Amino acid sequence: MRTGRRDVVLLHGWGFGAGIWDRLAGLLPRALRTTTLDLPGYGNLKGGALPQSVEATARRLLGGAPAPALWVGWSFGGMVALAVAAARPERVAALVLVGASAKFLAAADWPAGVQPSQLNDFRVRLAQDPRACLIGFARLAAWGSTDVRATHAQLLRCLNAAPLPSLRCLRHGLDLLAGSDLRAALARMQCPVVLVRGEGDAFVSATAAGAMRALNPTLAVITVAGGGHALPVSHASALRDSVVAVLG
């Protein structure tokens, strides 16, 4: 699959900033031009109003992105990348969704999602101690990796490398995760879409991957053996291979 230009946009997820991509960015071929974006509330986009939907988040990011480009989004960043492609398909040549689902929360018509009780638990922990909550999230993200301890340690290094997002930003991110539904967007997607998930991903199960493929039969699913939710730090080489394969 060829994208025309060799531009790659990397989009992080909830809780962790753009540093989550450091390993992958260092492995990508030099011929690629890589743009790493901050979500609103993180890094260079700290402060100010926060977009009230995943679609509004996508619109906010488009101004800083090259076009056309291959968008690589991790976790919530993958949902934003889907929204970008739905809003401006001419700006997105292909998508690589890393541990990302079209709908995060489970529902009667989407049993493959995460249970609302688990998200509510995050809300409670976040109110009590934001850093402890993010450390707990890192532990869940590391779960399923061949070396859980090393993956968790790598995630904590990413967490400690930059100031934490504000409590307001983190709460808002959970709200967007709870309220976003990109299933219709995925079903209509015309560009190549690849889902890369770890076989032990605690948030995007094999059942979720199958449900996404049922929405869009052209979706390619790559399951990384020995991987969990934290593929950008635990299996950056496998992600590099997926990106290069999409570029063709």
pLDDT in tens, 176-220: 999 999 999 999 999 999 999 999 999 999 999 999 999 999 999
Would you say residue 152 has pLDDT above 80?
Answer: yes
Check residue 117 and give its pLDDT.
95
The crossing angle, in degrees rounded to 10, of helices 167-179 and 130-142 is 50
> If 0-12 CB within 10 Å is exposed, 13-18 middle and 19+ buried, where does residue 26 land?
exposed
pLDDT in tens, 48-73: 899 999 999 999 999 989 989 999 99
pLDDT in tens, 98-124: 999 999 999 999 999 999 999 999 999
Q: Which residues are catalytic?
A: 75, 201, 229
What's the token pair of residue 89? 């398909």
Would you say residue 5 has pLDDT above 80?
Answer: no
Instruction: Provide mean pLDDT across the span 2-8.
Output: 66
**Mean of pLDDT over the chain:** 95
What's the token pair of residue 100? 């990302």
Q: Which fold has domain 7-247?
A: Rossmann fold (3.40.50)
Would you say residue 21 has pLDDT above 60?
Answer: yes
Would you say residue 1 has pLDDT above 80?
Answer: no
User: pLDDT band for position 2 (50/70/90)?
Assistant: very low
Top pLDDT among 80 and 47 is at 80
Would you say residue 4 has pLDDT above 70?
Answer: no
- Is 155:22 a contact under the CB 8 Å cutoff? no
**What is the signed CA dihedral for 89, 35, 71, 47, rounded to 10 degrees?**
-80
d(CA 17, CA 165): 8
Would you say residue 144 has pLDDT above 60?
Answer: yes
What residues does each domain of the chain span?
7-247
Would you say residue 3 has pLDDT above 70?
Answer: no
CB atoms within 10 A of CB 101: 31
d(CA 138, CA 130): 12
